[in-house]
Structure 1
Amino acid sequence: MIDVFLAGDSTMQTYDSSFAPQAGWGQFIAKYFSSDITFHNHAMGGRSSKTFITEGRLAAILAEIKQGDYLFIQMGHNDSTKSRPERYTEAYDDYKKYLKQYVEGAREKGAIPILFTPVGRLHYVNGEFLADFGDYCNAMKEVAEDQNVLLVDLNKKSIEYFSAIGYDQAFELFMISVNGTDCTHFTEKGANEIAKIVSEGIKELELELSGYLK
C-alpha cells in the first residue's frame, strides 16, 4: 500500500459539503488512481510554504509518511501575498528555503517528494490567459533542479488547458461562475479537471506511482 500526502493551499484542499460547489483538486485526485493508493490531503486554505510549516502541518505529515510514500507539494498562491506579511515569502529567498524543508523532510523518511507549480487562476486579458506567480514558478523549478526533485509544471499545464477550452468553458471551472467574484478557487467541475491534469503529469514522470493510474 502506497500513501500519498498532499501539502498545499485552498486550491488543493478538501472541503466539506457546506462549501459546495467549491472544491480543491485534492478532493478528486484519488478517482484517477487504483484503490492501492491512499491519499491524505493535508492542504489548508490560506497557507503558504512558510505558515504550513510554522503551524506544524508539515511535521504532522512527516510523523506519518514512510519509505516509498509520496509527498505532493503545491505552494505559491499565498506566498505571493505581500499584504499578509505573516504568510508572505520572497520567491528567490525564503520561499526556496521553505520548499527545501519539504523535500528534505520527505527524503529523510524515505519518501518521494514531487513539486507542483501553483495552479493557474482565471486571469484573462485581451483574449489571452495569463500565468500568475511567475517568480514562484521559476523559483520552484530552481529548487527542483538544484535538489534533483521531480516537478509537475501545473501552472503551465492548467493555463494550456484553459486556453484549449476557451474562456466560456474555463469560467465554469471557477467559483466566479457561482459568486461572480472568485477567479482563484474551483467549482467541483474545475477541481476534478485539475485533478485529471495532475494525474496526467504523474503519468509523464513514469514513476512507480504512475503504474497505479486508472
Structure 2
Amino acid sequence: MMKTMGALLLTSSLFAGGGSTPAEAKVSNFKFDFGDGPVEKGYIVVSASDGYSAEKGYGFATPEHMRNVPAKGTGVGADAVQFLQFGTKSMNTFNVDLPNGLYEVTVTLGDTARASVAAEGVFQIINMTGNGAVDKFQIPITDGQLNLLVTEGKAGTNFTLSALEIDKLSHHAVTNRTIYIGGDSTVANYYPLAASIQGGWGQMLEQFVDPKEFVVRNMASGGQIARGFRNDGQLEAILKYIKPGDYFILQLGINDTNPKNNTTEAEFKEIMRDMVRQVKATGATVVLSTPQGRATDFNAEQQHSSENRWYRHSIVGLAQEEQVPLVDLNVISSAYFTSIGPDETRSLYMTGDSLHPNRAGAIELARLVYEELKRQGMDGFVEKKEKE
C-alpha cells in the first residue's frame, strides 16, 4: 500500500459525506506511521512535510523543522521523522485533534541513543534509550488537541519518531490514580522495558501494583540530582497532573554527593524539602526513599551496611520534619543483602558494577519498596513477581 492511501483513508473516515465534522464526531483513536517508507497496514502515513490542517485534523506545526530519516527497525520502525527543533516548550510539535478526555499514547522511537517525549509543554517519558524503544503514557486532553514531540535525552543525538498510537480511555479528562516516581539511575527505566538487562526499581514497581488501582509514571533519570529534578522539567511534569489520591515516591542523593555536582548536604535537604512541600500542596501523598548501598558494602562479619552514605541521614530527618512516609530502602536492602550473602548480592548487580542493579536486582528492590509501602498501610499493591 502506498503511503498516500493512508491519508486518503483517514480523510474519508473523518469527512465522509463532505463538510466539516462536528467536535463530538472527531476520531479518538489513531495509529500513525512516520517517514517516507511503505506504510504499515492499519496505520496512517505521516511524512515530515505533512503540515497540520484543521481539515485533516493532524500534522506537524512547523514541517520545515522536520526531516524524513531511515531507521533500523522493521514494520513501522523501518523509517521515522527527525525533530530538528526540540525542547519541551518548542512549537515544533506533531498535533492531533482529539475530543477532550483521557488517552493512552504509545510511542515508538526511530534510531536514537536517548530521547525523551514531551506533550502539552512538559515531559511525558524520560530518557527512552536505544533504537526502536517503545513506551506509553496516559494524558488528559482538555483543549481538543494533542501536541507532542521527541526531545532532549542526550545532547548531540537524533530525536526521532517512528510510530504513534492514540487510544481513548475515558470521556473524563482526568488521569487515573497514579504513582509518580522520581530518582536516579538506580530507579530509572531501561529499554526494552520487558527484557532489559539493567533495571531500576521504579521500572519494576509496576509488577507489584494493582492496575485497577494505579498507573505508574517513572520520571527518574540516570545521573539526576535533586536540583536538576526540581529545575529541569521532571517535577514540573508531575505537578501538572498530580492530584489527591496519587503517590509521589522520591529517591535522590547518590549523585548529589558527587563533588562535581556542587551540592552540599544542607542544600540537598532544602531542595528536597521544597519539592516535598510543592507536591504536598496538591493533596497527593509524598513518600521519601533512601538509596540502597553498593554490592560491596559488606564488613568482615559479612554484614551489609551503608547507612552513612548518600545523604541518607538528611532524607530520614526530612521525612520526620515534614511528616511524610519514609521507605528506608538503604537499611531495608542491607538487611536483605545480609540475609542472602555477598555472592548472591553481587549477582543482583550489573557485572563489574557495584552500584547499578540488573533486572533481577531491580525486581528485588521493587519488592522491598512494595512490602514497606504495604506495611505502612498504603493501598493499591499486589503480590506479584516477574517470571525469570
Question: What's the TM-score once normalised by structure 2's chain length?
Answer: 0.50
2:298 corresponding residue in structure 1? 124
| Cα offsets for 1:145-171 (capped at 9, x unmatched) | 111111110000011110000011111
Deviation at 1:20, TM superposition (A): 3.2
2:199 corresponding residue in structure 1? 23
* Amino acid in structure 2 at the alignment position of 1:106: V
* Amino acid in structure 2 at the alignment position of 1:116: S
Task: Select 2:264's aligned residue among 64, 83, 90.
Answer: 90
Deviation at 1:132, TM superposition (A): 5.3
User: Where do 1:6-21 residues align within 5 Å?
Assistant: 6-17=181-192, 20-21=196-197
Q: 1:133 to 1:17 in 2, by over 3 A?
A: farther
TM superposition outliers: structure 1 runs of 4+ over 6 Å: none
2:253 corresponding residue in structure 1? 76
Which structure has greater strand proportion?
Answer: 2
Deviation at 1:133, TM superposition (A): 4.7
- How many residues align? The count is 204
Q: Is the 8 A contact 1:80 1:133 kept in 2?
A: no
Deviation at 1:212, TM superposition (A): 3.4
**1:111 pairs with 2:288:** no
2:382 corresponding residue in structure 1? 213
Residues in 1 aligned to 2:280 and 2:314: alpha-carbon distance in whole angstroms: 20
Aligned to 1:186, the other structure's residue is in SS state: coil
2:210 corresponding residue in structure 1? 34
Q: Is the 8 A contact 1:118 1:133 kept in 2?
A: no
Deviation at 1:46, TM superposition (A): 0.1
- Bigger drift between 131-140 and 163-172 goes to 131-140
Task: Select 1:61's aligned residue among 238, 248, 253.
Answer: 238
Residues in 2 aligned to 1:135 and 1:39: alpha-carbon distance in whole angstroms: 26
* Amino acid in structure 1 at the alignment position of 2:292: V
Q: Is the 8 A contact 1:114 1:152 kept in 2?
A: yes
Aligned to 1:77, the other structure's residue is in SS state: coil
Deviation at 1:174, TM superposition (A): 0.3
Deviation at 1:137, TM superposition (A): 1.1
Residues in 1 aligned to 2:196 and 2:375: alpha-carbon distance in whole angstroms: 31
2:372 corresponding residue in structure 1? 201
Aligned to 2:311, the other structure's residue is in SS state: helix
Identity of aligned residues (%): 32
1:51 corresponding residue in structure 2? 228
* Amino acid in structure 1 at the alignment position of 2:283: G
Residues in 2 aligned to 1:213 and 1:194: alpha-carbon distance in whole angstroms: 15
Which structure has greater helix proportion?
Answer: 1
Listed as ranges, the gaps of 5+ residues in structure 2 are: 1-175, 384-388
State which structure, 1 or 2, has the greater radius of gyration over its C-alpha atoms: 2
Question: What's the TM-score once normalised by structure 1's chain length?
Answer: 0.89
Q: What's the RMSD between the two structures over aligned residues?
A: 1.7
